[in-house]
Amino acid sequence: MKRTITHLADGRELIYFDRCDDADRSAIDRRALEPRPVASELRYDPLTEEWIAIAGHRQTRTFLPTGGTAECPLCPSSETRSSEIPSYDYDVVVFENRFPSFSTNFGTYEDPGGLSEVRPAAGRCEVVCFTSDHDSSFSKLSDSQVELVMEAWADRTAELSQIEGVEQVFCFENRGAEIGITLAHPHGQIYAYPYVTPRTKLQLGAARRYTKGNLFADVLAAEREAGVRVVAANELWTAFVPAAARWPFEVHVYPHRQVPDLAALTEAERAAFAPLYTSVLRAFDGLFGVVMPYIAAWHQAPVRVDRELGYLHLELFSIRRAANKLKYLAGSESAMGAFVNDVLPEEAARLIRSQIDH
């Protein structure tokens, strides 16, 4: 793999990940861009003990351009058009988000008053382009392409973890207009947070109170033994629907070896992940014969605390509950955080299994 670092016209970093060592990445960004926005502010909610990012500049980000590849900022540049990627082709690209929720370009922040407090939303947000093919999807990537994406995820996890003040690195993909994507090109994002996220705190708290071993490892072992909710497996990974799934179709993908993050996976583990995961994604699309909206979220251990408790795993879920019905987060879920699932997890697992490799 070849890794090439360059910069866009406004100073943002861009990194090419190429299979071939002779890839030419000398193209420069020809655009005249506005200065980068200052970092968002973090405001503290004393009632939930959570930090909320206030990022007003993101209101102006590109939203679902209608011109296909001619307007897509994630497609390669051409002789007549410049995009976020200066080269005329690419394998995998990672670059700093033009409209970040977190960054190190600090401004000045006024005290909001009340019982809240404010500080800079320090960190970094990056975009990961999985392929130059605008009309593709992660489910259509070759095994070798998935491995290259995983190399990029691992590289960025390791590097972003070194930024002062970063406490957690989160790699994820949003897919589908129903999920709220703003660009249709196959891509994901990486957030380097200046705090440990609320969901991770809850999970690690449960793991800390669990006295029989590692909680995540025991959940995996129990699901593998029960078998009824396992949808796919190989020697190094298992994909299963959790017994208490929140979402109509939800699959967790675990490596069989406890590792804290993507950077700790072996080459063999990365290779084994690719065919299993893409088969699950294709199964999702096969459930109702329509493109399945989903969120794919890598749970990684925090950078500085509780790494011995963490267990890398991927959470994949969709808000689609039937061919023409979506699961909306209404009163109970949005206001109280109390989920009600419309689909029995065992039935969801059976349906997903029925579509594996079909």
Catalytic positions are 187
Selection from 189, 200, 11, 30 nearest residue 100 by Cα = 189
Bridge partners, residue 15, by sequence: 5, 94
Which helix (H) or strand (E) segment holds residue 352: the answer is: helix 345-355
Q: Taking a C-beta distance cutoff of 8 angstroms, is the pair 284, 334 a contact? A: no
Q: DSSP secondary structure string, 212-245?
A: SS-HHHHHHHHHHHH-TTEEEE-SSEEEE--TT-
Q: Taking a C-beta distance cutoff of 8 angstroms, is the pair 330, 208 a contact? A: no
Q: How many CA atoms lie within 13 A of 212 on its CB side?
A: 7
Q: Taking a C-beta distance cutoff of 8 angstroms, is the pair 4, 11 a contact? A: no
DSSP character at residue 21: T
What sign for the dihedral angle of Cα 93, 97, 101, 104? positive
Q: How far apart are the first and last CA of the chain?
A: 32
Residue labelled with tokens 């996976």: 265
